[in-house]
Structure 1
Amino acid sequence: MIRVQVPATTANMGPGFDCVGMALKLYNFVEMEAIEQGVVIDVEGDGADKIPRDKSNIVYLAAERVFKIVDRKPAGLRIKLTNNIPLARGLGSSAAATVGGLIAANMLVGSPLSEKELLNEATAIEGHPDNVAPALLGGIVVSAKEDDDIKTVKIQPPAGMKCVVAIPDFQLSTKAAREVLPQNVSMEDAVFNLSRTAILVAALMRGDFDLLSIGLDDRLHQPYRANLIPGMKKVFAAARLAGAKGVALSGAGPTLIGFCDENIGLIAKVMKDTFAANGVRCRVVELEPNPVGATALEKISL
């Protein structure tokens, strides 16, 4: 029996569209074992009623990819998923499933694939590395795709960083959130995001919270996605007034995340209240950055 713990992730972090992400201390668990025949998939926790229990399941598809690469496949497979990461909320639930499936399957057949190979496979499945890289590696990860190879730089989260995470009570698919984005952007907006991403990375590496207010600004995706999330701009403003060092859309949304080192309770309250004032029910949780990525908790030979 293989048991893998995979963290939630927040991608983009403002201007770092498709190339910056951070692991969070919220986890999904993937259990996998070989059986004599068939495929048995059990799901517990968040979204359990929406996740398929057949061969279309993301974890199963990731496992099948490993088995095909190494040309070794169990006669049957049992998978159990325990989900704490909200489904389709911008916290990397699909990335966690992909990474968990790849790691568990790789371990089941003797771990022939390296971490780098697993990252490349995860990116090929997801289409971009911003969520899968921190889910696999932990911490804050800056990624770049070069042909079929993913280059990464891992940054340890600044000491004292806290994340106030406002999770609206509705789902937003990545596909829908991408459809509202323009195919072309102005040179001015491109330069704006380049400068903010550079500031963001420097601020994170130096632990300079004051620079985050500038480094989290974005013009490539958040302004367009704001129309999909009622009250988003007002929540941003309220969180900053309450003391957040910066606020960003988490991944494709609809979750919003405030980065702070103090005033956590007040920031959480105003984010929830401002969403409510705009007709959106949400729950707010405090999460810490996670320096550790996906972890194998158990490997039991039966």
Structure 2
Amino acid sequence: MTSLQVTVPASSANLGPGFDALGLALALHDVVEVQVTDAGLKVEVFDAGAGGIEDVPTDERHLVVRALRRACEHLGVKPPGLHLRCFNKIPHARGLGSSAAAVVSGIAAGYALADKPLDGDAVQLSAGFEGHADNAAASLLGGFVLAWCDNGRFHAERLNPHPSIRPVVAVPSVQSSTEATRGLLPAEVPHTDAALSTGRAALAVHALTSRPALLLPATEDRLHQHYRASAYPATARLVHELRAAGVAATVSGAGPTVLALTVDGIIPAGVDVEGFEVIELPVDRTGVQVTGR
């Protein structure tokens, strides 16, 4: 392909107790158009609702370009020049996998330019940018993913989430830095908290695929969310209110977006969502898609 379009979904990682291991693809998409040219690089960035793209570089530092270059190097492809048009709809720095989506779009574009199908190396290449594969694997594969790292090699397995699950996100206007919120995590956690989160993560796999009625206990977490609460008090408050109302709510990724795993697409009346944009986002079941010629 010398002219192509990449459509890549947003994602929510962790899903409560599955820290750096569980991810869910969501039907909110960035689109990247890639044209092979005679020489040079041109990058255009369009804000289609993402917000926070003012500081996005339009040269070789652009994340899509970096990922595309890495895939091309891995596959032995050397396009003479590139023209990229990036239509960003996934909010930046909100915990919805915007960085992972950019990386995945670049990796997928590189594979398409090489006329190669996505493979296990695509997971490795994508996850290598952030050091964990939860968001990237969800954007690559769609659906619900389990991700892990074994001796420096990233892996992921895709599972089908239960068809009755209807995710709802509450997106605040404020941004959050993954690097900053990770800095709030302790080096060690109590054994009882680790044991509880391990059990809940296993239960989350069962609840998400087979028993949605168990989602509330399955999304209980003691590994990371309460340690980060000081970084986004409004998010922590909303998660608490939703869970008190019986909704399986978690912090989406590093926050500050809230993910509610519902079966009706509704936030209960009486829950204060002021300051948040509430959006029902179906599960994206296909992952990254590439079309072109």
Q: TM-score w.r.t. structure 2 length? A: 0.94
Q: Which secondary structure does the structure 1 equivalent of 2:20 belong to?
A: coil
For residues 120 and 83 of structure 1, the distance between their equivalents in structure 2, rounded to whole angstroms, comes to 24
Q: Which secondary structure does the structure 1 equivalent of 2:129 belong to?
A: helix
Structure holding more helix per residue: 1
How many percent of aligned residue pairs carry the same amino acid? 36
Is residue 106 from structure 1 mapped to residue 79 from structure 2 by the alignment?
no
What amino acid is aligned across from residue 39 of structure 2 in structure 1? Answer: Q
Where does residue 26 of structure 2 map in the other structure?
24
Please say if residues 243 and 263 of structure 1, whose CA atoms lie closer than 8 Å, have aligned partners that are also in contact. no
**Displacement after TM superposition at 1:266 (Å):** 3.2
For residues 187 and 137 of structure 1, the distance between their equivalents in structure 2, rounded to whole angstroms, comes to 33
Where does residue 291 of structure 1 map in the other structure?
285
Instruction: Identify the match of residue 55 of structure 2 among 50, 54, 60.
Output: 50
Unmatched tracts of structure 2, length 5 or more: none
- After superposition, the C-alpha distances for 1:10-51 in whole angstroms (9 at most, x for unaligned) are 000000000000000110011112111111000112233221
For residues 11 and 271 of structure 1, the distance between their equivalents in structure 2, rounded to whole angstroms, comes to 24
**Displacement after TM superposition at 1:243 (Å):** 4.6
- After superposition, the C-alpha distances for 1:134-185 in whole angstroms (9 at most, x for unaligned) are 1000100011111233332222111121112111111101101101001111
For residues 186 and 283 of structure 1, the distance between their equivalents in structure 2, rounded to whole angstroms, comes to 35
Taking only aligned residues, the RMSD between alpha carbons, in angstroms, comes to 1.6
Instruction: Identify the match of residue 123 of structure 1 among 120, 127, 138.
Output: 127
For residues 236 and 175 of structure 2, the distance between their equivalents in structure 1, rounded to whole angstroms, comes to 18
**Displacement after TM superposition at 1:241 (Å):** 4.5
Where does residue 74 of structure 1 map in the other structure?
79
- Alpha carbons of 1:158 and 1:102: their partners in 2 closer, same or farther (altered >3 Å)? same
What amino acid is aligned across from residue 195 of structure 1 in structure 2? Answer: G
What amino acid is aligned across from residue 100 of structure 2 in structure 1? Answer: A
Instruction: Identify the match of residue 161 of structure 2 among 157, 180, 184.
Output: 157
Q: TM-score w.r.t. structure 1 length? A: 0.91
- Alpha carbons of 1:271 and 1:109: their partners in 2 closer, same or farther (altered >3 Å)? farther
Please say if residues 243 and 260 of structure 1, whose CA atoms lie closer than 8 Å, have aligned partners that are also in contact. no
For residues 126 and 237 of structure 1, the distance between their equivalents in structure 2, rounded to whole angstroms, comes to 29
Which segment drifts farther, 190-199 or 41-50?
Answer: 41-50
Which segment drifts farther, 191-200 or 48-57?
Answer: 48-57
What amino acid is aligned across from residue 197 of structure 2 in structure 1? Answer: N
Where does residue 35 of structure 2 map in the other structure?
33
Instruction: Identify the match of residue 184 of structure 1 among 174, 184, 188.
Output: 188
Q: Which secondary structure does the structure 2 equivalent of 1:16 belong to?
A: coil
Please say if residues 107 and 126 of structure 2, whose CA atoms lie closer than 8 Å, have aligned partners that are also in contact. yes
